[in-house]
Amino acid sequence: MEQDISKFTAKDTVFRNLFGDKKYTAMLYSALHNGEIVSPEDIEIITLEEILMASLYNDVGFMVKGKIIILVECQSTWSENIIIRLIMYLAETYYRYYRKTKQSLYSTTKVDFPKPELYLIYTGSRKITKEYISLSDSFLNGEKCDIDIRVKVITDGSKGDIVNQYIAFTRILNEQVSKYGRTRKAAAETIRICCNDEILKEYLKNKESEVSSIMLNMFDVDTELNIFFDTEKRVARAEGLAAGKAEGLAAGKAEGLAAGKAEGKRENAISVALKMLRKNKYDLNEIADCSGLSLEEVSALSKENNMQLV
């Protein structure tokens, strides 16, 4: 199931495509660092790319001047599980960094450690007031932990910066999808409106056909995912019903065996009691004790079979 899902979600997104270009990645860095300017030459893209279906791959990862590792995730559905995913992305990113730079973690020489920065750009409709989310606060009720990470949450960005423009782009896209559905018309209208409003204008004009294709692929992914999950639900329901029936039959069989054992045990007790009654030399208490029946049951059995003791 995870492989099937990864098959759908591995496709490119506008976010990954936009910030896979160092020109816009440098603008992203500037937006995240209060306008600090870096050149595209200072940027190294280190986004985890999908090689195999089981591989980790994140939204955007880049290194600045060899000193800072920045991971940025974008999600439209709020989930603090992103913290756990970012831990995994960060570990894999450092692993690849040390392999690439040929630094041994077993050496007595201290290795380089680029400073990590983690960001979440949230484009959904839910109102989020948290500026940061952390492993400790989100999963351990604030309890101190031997490891902890903090993720900065961005819901709007500063007016006009690249983050603010991207979030505006997603909102316009959502509006057009609500009007035209997940269609080529919605994609075209999104690009037209954004260009008119100076939102990612240069990027959208230069890569209009590519962006349009990405959006249409995203629509296909959503459709495929909905079909996939609907199918999974139906299969799970059918399997659940079948399992329930099997369990019911198994339970019935077990109950039957238990009932059979109990019935056999009782029949044996009655047989012992009848033999002792026929000998007419044991009192009711002795018969009850030997057979396992109650005194009342032995007395009733004696009367039913006209075996009154003398």
pLDDT tens-digit readout, 267-307: 878 888 787 777 666 778 778 878 888 888 878 887 777 66
What local confidence, expressed as pLDDT, does residue 259 receive? 65
What local confidence, expressed as pLDDT, does residue 288 receive? 81
Ranges in the chain, pLDDT < 50: 1-11, 52-54, 310
| Cα distances (Å, whole numbers) of residue 108 to 12, 105, 115, 207, 308 | 41, 8, 21, 49, 98
- The encoded tokens of residue 214 equal 């990405």
What local confidence, expressed as pLDDT, does residue 173 receive? 93
Helices (H), 197-310: 201-206, 208-279, 284-291, 295-304
What local confidence, expressed as pLDDT, does residue 92 receive? 94
The domain spans of the chain are: 1-102+109-155
**pTM higher than 0.95, yes or no?**
no
Beta bridge partners of residue 115, listed in sequence order = 68
What local confidence, expressed as pLDDT, does residue 70 receive? 98
What local confidence, expressed as pLDDT, does residue 67 receive? 96
Residue 115 and residue 288: Cα distance in Å, rounded? 83
CA-angle at 37, arms to 31 and 40, nearest 5°: 95
